[in-house]
Structure 1
Amino acid sequence: MQRYSKYLIIVKSSVIAHRFQLVLFTLINAVMFLILHQLFLATQAAVIGFAIQSLLSYFIVAKNKQMSPNFQVNDIGEIDFLNDSTEAIVLNKGQLLAQSFIVPWCCVLYISEHELDSNKLKILIWPDMVDDTSYRRLCRIIRLRRQQI
């Protein structure tokens, strides 16, 4: 039986993704403000209601913790999801699917948690979420999985 080396990939929250969310949130709110402004002809109730809604949703988006899965992956695409502590307890297992792909600014992982299950877990990994070595290894493993089709 061939042994495959497992690489530990520790994922942290992404600054790029967080800024992207804030910019998108601001654009959506600006468009909504312009629409409400035209519909309600700038009544004070509409403006105050929109301001309260914007502040509440901003704090929800700004305080949102992104999922930061830590996992081990080997050369054939087997994934072990680990807990966040230092004990490295395996919480779940999965298989990296060949639909996973790499674009210049991120990796998109499609993971099947069960062989017979059609549900796929999709994880977006930005380069600033992992260290450079882990990101290169992950990209290499995705390329290997895509060649095995």
Structure 2
Amino acid sequence: MGTKEQIKETLYNVAEDVLEKLAFIFSFPEDERDQMDYTTAVATRVSFAGPFSGALVMAIAAEALPELAGNMLGIDEDEETTTEQQHDALKELINVVCGNLLPAISGKQSVFNVNMPEIVPEGESIIKDDRPQPVSVAKMDIDEGQCDLLLFIDGETAIQAD
């Protein structure tokens, strides 16, 4: 599967590629910045099972959602997007990121069952006490704010150095 550093680099590359191609949003790695304020962000989570199990969480600044949804849905800039449209766009985005990330870190022959993405309810902690800490965190700056991706893998033993 690769080292934690390789996984982090892959997470950045996949996220950057998907944000650009699917949402027409450019992102810039910001590894040195503090974790974004998750209490003001909108987050979505998708869990998966296969050669290893876990979840991918994407937290994005709430002010970035209208542009992201508008770009993905082809809605004119002067038209408003609904909260439902914004959440659907975010769920589609994490679905595509996860679908590209898993084969990139585990090999193209690996088969995973990816669950339906869900919006993390407001007030629910992204980093849960009953789960291990994220194996990898990609912190990015985007046009309208910040975006963090957190990869959780059940059982830390799943990550092995080459």
- TM-score between the two structures when normalised by the length of structure 2: 0.26
Whichever structure has more helix as a proportion of its residues is 1
Structure with greater contact order relative to length (CA < 8 Å, sep ≥ 6): 2
Question: In terms of Rg, which structure is larger?
Answer: 1
- TM-score between the two structures when normalised by the length of structure 1: 0.28
